[in-house]
Amino acid sequence: MLAIRNLTFSCIKLQYGARYASGAPSPKTGIVMLNMGGPQNIDQVHDYLLRIMTDRDVIQFPFAQDYMGQWIAKRRTAKVQKRYQEIGGGSPILKWTILQGDLLCKKLDKESPETAPHRAYPAFRYASPFTDEALDQLNKDKVERAIIFSQYPQYSCATSGSSFNMVYRYFEKHGLMKNMKLSIIDRWSAHPLLAKCFADLIKNELQNLPEDVRNEAVILFSAHSLPLKAVNRGDPYPSEVGCTVQLVMNELRHCNPFQLVWQSKVGPLPWLGPFTDDSVKGYAKQGKKALVVVPIAFVNEHIETLHELDIELVEDAHKAGIQIIRRVPAPNDHPLFIEAMTDIVKNHLKSNQAVNPKLTNRCPHCENDVCATSKKWFFENCTL
């Protein structure tokens, strides 16, 4: 793990490019790994923020979307650049996604030879490799079967939904390649191996605690929050995160007290709580001495784990009087996580369900016309 973390970003880019070398076998099955992505260096931070702030699928300003987005991105750039400097100069999402995809495809080649060779295509929303770049490569490779695999286990309109809308826009513009089958894995919050993976990671951290606080440590499951407007609109994300938490605690036989909390609030509007930092302060007031923080909605390390939890939250906890705070690693390359992804894709390939019916159902109060169009398009064009 440490060796992977120490790879330079230039080496990662070379590795990524080498996967498409002319000597590599042509893939039969392509797995498009959707995620938000992150800037590879601080020079990319402004454009990364600008893409997020002007994305109407994610953020809706009451007026002047482009102007407001540009103003906020410019205003926040220096602060965010400083945070990336403090975690090594850039986001590690790409290197983890490449590693996860390579490990996934190696297992699939062995366990599903009839659909081999498999190739993973990292497809990011706001940083390179962008979704359209990944889909361009998918078309160039002339894969027979393409699986759009969301790397957000718990579905949210702002994450998975936004990414699927981008996929729809691409194929609506370029068309589906002749004879290519397209299907979707949109959510997997309840997969038992995902729960087992998180449970194993938590057990390891609990074992590192002093015996006198081990059984009393509060397990804080922290996930990215949502604006309450999105929750009230019908976004399924909070319930799906809660589902994962319950399954993990079942695996742990409810060994410790636990709480689901929410991080990364942005802006003045009301967001889903309780917030992670406020919860830490609240538990300190209650006399709690030890906390174990679990990034339950993240599958690999990025700024929200490496800075927001490892630096900012730890500082807040110590100032508040928490004696011990430990952070469980994201799944990254944990064997159970790779096994989970393999099982998900393998079972999907054997199923007769190209699209989850839940994906084709809009939120009760959906206001995004693109969602209606994209869901209809996927229902009509996806096939196994």
Supply the residues annotated as catalytic. 191, 343
Nearest residue to 259 (alpha-carbon basis) of 240, 280, 239: 280
259 three-state secondary structure: strand
Q: How many CB atoms lie within 10 A of CB 167?
A: 24
**For the chain, how big is the Rg over CA atoms in Å?**
21
Please name the amino acid found at residue 268: P
What is the spatial distance between Cα 16 and Cα 189, in angstroms, rounded to a whole number?
A: 28
Residues in CB range of 216: below 8 A, 6 or more apart: 256, 257, 288, 289, 290
Token representation of residue 215: 């059984």
Retrieve residue 34's tokens. 């959707």
CB 343, CB 191: distance < 8 Å: yes
CA 27 – CA 37 distance, rounded (Å): 24
DSSP string covering 189-255? TT-HHHHHHHHHHHHHHHHTS-HHHHTT-EEEEEEE--BHHHHHHT-SHHHHHHHHHHHHHHHTTT-
CB of 202 closer than 8 Å to CB of 222: no
Bond prior to 331 in cis (omega within 30° of 0): no
